[in-house]
Amino acid sequence: MKLDLDPTLVVRARELAARAGRPVVDLARAHTTVSVERAVLRLAGVAGADPDGIPWVNRLVDAVRADVGLGHGVAVPVFDALLREGIDDVTLLAQKASAGSVRFRVPEKQAGPRRAARKHVQAGLRRIDRRRAERERLVKRHGDAPRRPWIYLIVATGDIFEDIPQAQAAARAGADVIAVIRSTGQSLLDYVPEGATREGFAGTYATQENFRLMRAALDESSRELGRYVRLTNYASGLCMPEMAVLAGLERLDMMLNDSMYGILFRDINPIRTFVDQRFSRQVHARAGIVINTGEDNYLTTADAVEAAHTVTVSQLLNEYFAHEAGLADWQLGLGHAFEINPDLPESFRLELAHALLARELFPDAPLKWMPPTRHMTGDVFRGNLLDGFFNLVGAMTGQGILLVGMMTEAVVTPWLSDRDIALQNVRYVLGAAGGLHEDFVPAPGGFIQRRAHEVLASSIELLERIEAEGLLAAIADGTFGIMKRPADRGKGLDGVAKHEADYYNPAIS
């Protein structure tokens, strides 16, 4: 190991993360949310929306909730009603419930409704299994990206039909992963919009149809280029579980899915978030999707040197939550970023220390390396140079996923020409120094090793405090990203319900 980390300290850090995270997992196991229940019904086949654009799955869950609450789960009340109505179409039942012609109950005898619910939901899960197998076949047929890190590039026009040619052009220019940024504010919508969308705000709405259209377009690019091009979107916000299901059904390859991002940066209730993220990660695990976590965002609000240990702590917590939900190490795109003030003396060496620490703590995880944003000033020449140094750190420390930095960050939404220049920068650095991580070894006892040891020690101190006080209390105190988010506040809390003794969810039971 290049940093000569004390293995007993590494084990200690993981043990503390597990102890800090376990009460939150217990809390998640004992609760459900409106989005978890909607995700179950999407797996069972509910689709479409009413004339006002409200998804039928929302209408159905709201009707069940009004009659019997959420604590039993919606599966038994819904399939009990389906059997009583003598129909086999869950969407039709949703339409009837919306019209007020169906009432729901929790029957004393549940074997029949549970059997019917399991049959319908398992059909959805088998479809996700088929899409995962399809991905594996296509990677074998077309080949994978020829190198690591994978080059990850964002498109976001607001119009899916404009996003598609931009994404295909980016793939031809060397991008391995295309991320379609969501429209601003979608994470706070407690429903998933329907259909193909042609307008958004600083991004494109995440819908099942948009997922399908972009995946089909990148499959065309994969055939053309002779390598499988991956697709990314967002499983975050108030509809995290539903986004995970839709991603699995439409064969997305990566999803943004952080355990705390929605809490800190969208003021979504912590309990709602942890319940939703656990279910969504169980779906991602089954679908073979790589998650991307959001630690880079902490460094846009907190100082990247002073708060470096909070990134490491969050990575360790994200790893624990991911493993508990069934994700493997190869699915953990743990985030971190090149966000140290470039005017700080030895800033580049500090970046190397932080990036190499993440690489050595999580040797089997791909890691997602994020470019500078906070200290981009609008000087595009300086910005392009900073992005080059960012790319070099990625090469020197063996990062797995490299998000392409834009020299026009903080100026404009990138033009196609900006992306071309940014991709040239990445290709040059990776072509000239892509194997440098094999040769780069910090001096024993030198600046980089000392800084990495310091960050690890601070991480352990913080984890000890979190374990003693509780993770929810630490979040409330502003430990991460300096945002204070109490567990009894935030958006979406009214959509959380404690499990009753007979709670049933056929997707995880």
Give catalytic residue positions: 261, 296, 368
**Token pair of 352 as six digits:** 């190397």
Residues 465-499: b if buried by 16+ CB within 10 A, e if exposed? bbbeeebbebbbeebbbebebebeebbbeebbbeb
Q: CA angle 468-471-472, nearest 5°?
A: 120
Measure the CA–CA gap between 52 and 178, rounded to whole angstroms.
31
User: Are 64 and 77 within 8 A, CB to CB?
Assistant: yes
Could you give phi then psi for residue 2, rounded to 5 degrees? -80, -20
**Token pair of 287 as six digits:** 């679908």
* HEC assignment per residue over 143-181: CCCCCCCEEEEEECCCCHHHHHHHHHHHHHCCCCEEEEC
Pairing between β-strand 31-33 and β-strand 496-498 as defined by DSSP bridges:
antiparallel
Closest CA to 173 of 216, 218, 225, 124: 225
Q: Write down how long the chain is.
A: 509
Residues 63-88: b if buried by 16+ CB within 10 A, e if exposed? bbbeebebbbbbbbbbbbbbeeeeee
Long-range contact set of residues 19-27: C-beta below 8 Å, sequence gap at least 24: 19/467, 20/317, 20/463, 20/466, 20/467, 20/470, 20/471, 21/317, 21/320, 21/321, 21/324, 21/471, 23/470, 23/471, 24/274, 24/321, 24/471, 24/472, 25/278, 25/321, 25/324, 27/271, 27/274, 27/275
| Beta strands across the sheet bearing 290-292 | 332-333, 290-292, 254-256, 230-234, 177-180, 150-155, 401-403, 368-370, 335-337
* HEC assignment per residue over 272-303: HHHHHHHHHHHHHHHHCCEEECCHHHHHHHCC
Alpha-helix runs per DSSP H in 153-269: 160-172, 208-225, 240-249, 261-266
User: Are 253 and 290 within 8 A, CB to CB?
Assistant: yes
Other Cβ atoms within 10 Å of 100 Cβ, number: 8
User: Are 231 and 256 within 8 A, CB to CB?
Assistant: no
